[in-house]
Amino acid sequence: MATAYRSGWHFIDLVTAIPHSGDSLMVTVFGEPVVVTRDEDQDVRAYRCLRRPRGAPQPVRCAIRYGMIFVNLDQRDHEQAESDSPAPRTISATPRSA
């Protein structure tokens, strides 16, 4: 049942927790250690810490929305879309809450 909750986006912290380049934050999400860092270009990135010896950190999808950091641990979301598929049609609409 834990895998059902792993999918999707999970709130980590506010962006103000890592204000400067080189700052990092380590959290545990569903028993997996995740490091969130701010690089020299001021981009926020997240990595899953692998427990294998000499294993490189595995990148995790990371997004910032409304000043909050979210990560997605689901591996299925990390696959690239095929280039043969047609481009999705965009529809501009105003949400009801606007």
Residue type, 79: E
Note whether residue 37 is domain-resident: yes
Sign of CA dihedral 56, 57, 58, 63: negative
Give the CATH number of the domain where residue 24 resides: 2.102.10.10
Residue 65 is part of which domain span? 7-74
Per-residue pLDDT 10s for the chain (98 aa) are 444 455 678 889 999 999 988 899 998 888 888 899 998 888 899 998 876 666 677 888 888 999 999 988 876 654 544 545 555 555 555 555 54
pTM of the model: 0.65
- Separation CA 81–CA 75 (nearest Å): 13
Q: How many domains does the chain have?
A: 1
Note whether residue 24 is domain-resident: yes
